[in-house]
Amino acid sequence: MKVTILQFPGTNCEYDTQHAFESLGAETEIVWHKAESLPSDTDLLVVAGGFSYGDYLRSGAIAKFSPVMKVVTEYANKGGKVLGICNGFQVLTEAGLLPGALKRNDGLHFISKHHTLKVENNNNIFLEKLNNGDLVNIPIAHHDGNYFIDEKGLANLEANNQILLRYTDVNGAIQNPNGSISSIAGVCNKSKNVFGLMPHPERAMESILGSDDGIKMLQGFLES
């Protein structure tokens, strides 16, 4: 399997992401944001985390104008699998490839810690290795992770099983770290080929570092 990873000025998780997928047996390639095409053998495109363009203006708002985003949109619209992690999630919402938007955390502080997530919908290639209701321990590290969507949009997410993950405590009760509506930590598009989440599964690949729960989150892509 070939995983292509995007790199913008300010991206800082591309090598973590590369390591994570290579540890699962995938071939990877990092592509600079000025590229006007993607490798033809791309099976999964990952928009990695970090601070694209320093998060100036608004997180992801400048990155959406990079040349590579035109081909990312074409790739996604043709059914290609896309995963946005943290800043990558922000980029995908700004580009209109995922519904909703990411705002400043309610507490106005950068949050960096492990946090429990509950799997809400596993009827997709991203989370198919997990069960609905499973709890996973995944790091979060963001300043603008407050997911927002209007009431109609939220109802559509619920109806189409597009809500992937929610923030909870270790017992599965809602525990919202950033103010996200309905405690949402990740969503997908209606066609279930574009995925985005604020937490970092690529940083949860080894138990010695606090958790290896990210393995099952990423394995689904490799076996789809």
- Catalytic residue (choose from 14, 94, 120, 202): 202
Handedness of CA 160, 165, 166, 172 (dihedral sign): positive
- Catalytic residue (choose from 14, 86, 94, 188): 86
Phi–psi pair at 104, nearest 5 degrees = -60, 140
Active site residue 200: yes
Q: How far apart are CA 50 and CA 126, in angstroms?
A: 21
Q: How far apart are CA 177 and CA 153, in angstroms?
A: 22
Give me the amino acid identity at 74. E
Active site residue 86: yes
Which three-class secondary structure state does DSSP give residue 54? helix
Contacts of residue 152, Cβ cutoff 8 Å, sequence gap at least 6: none
Active site residue 13: no
Q: How far apart are CA 79 and CA 131, in angstroms?
A: 24
From residue 70, alpha-carbon distances to 7, 42, 113, 171, 203 in Å are 15, 16, 34, 42, 28
Map tokens 């598009």 to a residue. 189
From residue 6, alpha-carbon distances to 83, 122, 165, 200, 224 in Å are 10, 25, 23, 16, 21
- Catalytic residue (choose from 33, 115, 142, 200): 200
Q: How far apart are CA 115 and CA 209, in angstroms?
A: 14
- Residue positions annotated with a catalytic role: 86, 200, 202
